[in-house]
Amino acid sequence: MAAPNIVNVTTITGVTTYITGINTVTSGYNVIVTNPADSGKVLKINSLMAAGIGGTTGVTVKYFNEAAGAGTSVAIGQTLSVPSFSTLAVISKENAIYVEENKSIGAIKQSNTGGNIDIVCSYEEIS
Protein backbone atom coordinates (compact mmCIF):
# COMPACT_ATOMS: atom_id res chain seq x y z
CA MET A 1 0.00 0.00 0.00
CA ALA A 2 1.19 3.52 -0.73
CA ALA A 3 1.64 6.14 1.95
CA PRO A 4 -1.63 7.93 2.75
CA ASN A 5 -2.54 11.26 1.20
CA ILE A 6 -1.59 13.65 3.99
CA VAL A 7 -4.01 16.30 2.75
CA ASN A 8 -7.07 14.13 3.51
CA VAL A 9 -6.06 12.40 6.75
CA THR A 10 -8.51 10.65 9.06
CA THR A 11 -6.27 10.22 12.11
CA ILE A 12 -3.20 11.95 13.54
CA THR A 13 -1.83 10.36 16.72
CA GLY A 14 1.02 11.93 18.68
CA VAL A 15 3.67 9.51 19.98
CA THR A 16 6.84 9.94 22.04
CA THR A 17 9.33 7.11 22.35
CA TYR A 18 12.75 6.81 23.95
CA ILE A 19 15.80 4.57 24.23
CA THR A 20 18.13 4.70 27.23
CA GLY A 21 21.81 3.99 26.59
CA ILE A 22 21.89 3.25 22.84
CA ASN A 23 24.24 0.66 21.35
CA THR A 24 27.75 1.24 20.07
CA VAL A 25 28.86 0.63 16.49
CA THR A 26 29.88 -2.97 17.22
CA SER A 27 26.45 -3.86 18.66
CA GLY A 28 24.41 -2.51 15.74
CA TYR A 29 21.84 0.22 15.32
CA ASN A 30 19.02 0.81 17.81
CA VAL A 31 15.77 1.20 15.89
CA ILE A 32 14.10 4.37 17.15
CA VAL A 33 11.09 4.47 14.83
CA THR A 34 9.88 1.88 12.32
CA ASN A 35 6.96 1.99 9.90
CA PRO A 36 6.08 -1.54 8.75
CA ALA A 37 5.11 -2.34 5.16
CA ASP A 38 1.35 -2.02 4.52
CA SER A 39 0.81 0.00 7.72
CA GLY A 40 -1.35 2.53 5.88
CA LYS A 41 0.51 5.26 7.78
CA VAL A 42 3.21 7.84 7.32
CA LEU A 43 5.20 8.97 10.36
CA LYS A 44 6.13 12.64 10.67
CA ILE A 45 9.20 12.98 12.89
CA ASN A 46 8.87 16.30 14.74
CA SER A 47 11.87 15.96 17.04
CA LEU A 48 14.72 13.60 17.80
CA MET A 49 16.89 14.57 20.74
CA ALA A 50 20.19 12.96 21.77
CA ALA A 51 21.22 13.50 25.40
CA GLY A 52 24.84 13.03 26.46
CA ILE A 53 25.04 11.15 29.77
CA GLY A 54 28.52 11.23 31.29
CA GLY A 55 31.48 12.05 29.05
CA THR A 56 31.22 13.73 25.65
CA THR A 57 30.38 11.23 22.94
CA GLY A 58 29.16 11.10 19.35
CA VAL A 59 25.92 9.86 17.83
CA THR A 60 25.04 8.76 14.30
CA VAL A 61 21.41 8.73 13.14
CA LYS A 62 20.40 7.03 9.88
CA TYR A 63 17.29 6.62 7.69
CA PHE A 64 16.90 3.00 6.53
CA ASN A 65 15.12 1.92 3.35
CA GLU A 66 13.52 -1.04 5.18
CA ALA A 67 11.60 -1.36 8.43
CA ALA A 68 13.35 -2.53 11.63
CA GLY A 69 16.67 -0.90 10.69
CA ALA A 70 17.31 -3.22 7.74
CA GLY A 71 18.51 -2.56 4.21
CA THR A 72 20.67 0.31 3.05
CA SER A 73 20.77 3.63 4.83
CA VAL A 74 21.60 7.29 4.48
CA ALA A 75 22.93 9.48 7.30
CA ILE A 76 20.68 12.09 8.86
CA GLY A 77 23.56 13.01 11.15
CA GLN A 78 27.01 11.37 11.13
CA THR A 79 29.24 11.29 14.24
CA LEU A 80 27.54 14.32 15.80
CA SER A 81 29.23 15.48 18.99
CA VAL A 82 26.99 15.46 22.06
CA PRO A 83 28.74 17.30 24.90
CA SER A 84 28.68 15.92 28.43
CA PHE A 85 25.32 16.47 30.15
CA SER A 86 23.90 18.30 27.11
CA THR A 87 21.18 17.70 24.55
CA LEU A 88 21.47 17.88 20.76
CA ALA A 89 18.44 18.37 18.48
CA VAL A 90 19.11 16.05 15.54
CA ILE A 91 15.62 16.58 14.06
CA SER A 92 13.26 19.43 14.92
CA LYS A 93 10.05 21.00 13.59
CA GLU A 94 12.22 23.17 11.33
CA ASN A 95 13.67 20.09 9.58
CA ALA A 96 10.98 17.45 10.16
CA ILE A 97 11.12 14.31 8.01
CA TYR A 98 8.58 11.67 6.99
CA VAL A 99 9.10 7.94 7.48
CA GLU A 100 7.18 6.15 4.77
CA GLU A 101 5.96 2.54 4.85
CA ASN A 102 8.71 -0.07 5.18
CA LYS A 103 11.25 2.53 6.36
CA SER A 104 12.91 3.20 9.73
CA ILE A 105 15.29 5.40 11.69
CA GLY A 106 18.13 4.02 13.82
CA ALA A 107 21.00 5.38 15.92
CA ILE A 108 24.33 4.30 17.39
CA LYS A 109 26.85 5.95 19.68
CA GLN A 110 30.57 6.10 19.08
CA SER A 111 32.42 3.26 20.80
CA ASN A 112 35.64 5.14 21.61
CA THR A 113 34.16 7.36 24.32
CA GLY A 114 33.11 6.93 27.94
CA GLY A 115 29.71 8.63 27.72
CA ASN A 116 26.27 7.24 26.96
CA ILE A 117 23.49 8.57 24.74
CA ASP A 118 19.77 8.59 25.48
CA ILE A 119 17.37 9.25 22.59
CA VAL A 120 13.89 10.83 22.77
CA CYS A 121 11.77 11.00 19.61
CA SER A 122 8.40 12.71 19.13
CA TYR A 123 6.37 11.95 16.03
CA GLU A 124 2.88 11.83 14.51
CA GLU A 125 1.28 8.69 13.05
CA ILE A 126 -0.78 9.93 10.09
CA SER A 127 -3.39 7.75 8.39
| Residue 64 Cα distances to 11, 25, 32, 36, 61, angstroms | 25, 16, 11, 12, 10
Integer Cα distance of 22 and 39 in angstroms: 26
Indicate whether 59 belongs to any domain.
Answer: yes
Indicate whether 77 belongs to any domain.
Answer: yes
Indicate whether 65 belongs to any domain.
Answer: yes
DSSP β-ladder status, 30-35 and 116-126:
unpaired
Beta bridge partners of 111: none
SS3 assignment, position 11: coil
State how many domains the chain has.
Answer: 1
Indicate whether 7 belongs to any domain.
Answer: no
pTM of the model: 0.91
CB atoms within 10 A of CB 56: 15
Indicate whether 3 belongs to any domain.
Answer: no
For the domain that residue 68 is a member of, what is the CATH number?
A: 2.60.120.340
Q: Which domain holds residue 100?
A: 12-126
Indicate whether 6 belongs to any domain.
Answer: no
Print pLDDT tens along the chain (127 aa): 566 788 889 999 999 999 999 988 777 899 999 999 999 999 999 999 999 988 878 899 999 998 888 889 999 999 999 988 999 999 999 999 999 999 999 999 987 767 889 999 999 999 9
